[in-house]
Structure 1
Amino acid sequence: MLDESLLDTPEALSEADRRGLLRGAAEAGARVRTAARHAAEAGVG
């Protein structure tokens, strides 16, 4: 379970995420959003 108080302090959140899973998920989400935007601009989908 996520301790919501960690969201108030990026340093504490970073320490709690020892394997970098949150950063990886954020990066993957950014890639998906970029791909979706490029597809829309190209008229695909």
Structure 2
Amino acid sequence: MKETESTFLDLINRHKAIIHKISKMYTDDAEEQRDLFQEIVLQL
């Protein structure tokens, strides 16, 4: 695994609670929250 990829994954893991909170702000549906979480990570 490349260093930049490892660093990125570390940052995502450290801040995933914030990303989940953002996802919950937009929708109450659990499946949509998971999709939104993935979309946010993809955009990052």
Same fold (TM over 0.5): no
Higher helix share: 2
User: Higher relative CO (CA 8 A, sep ≥ 6), structure 1 or 2?
Assistant: 2
Greater Rg, structure 1 or structure 2?
1
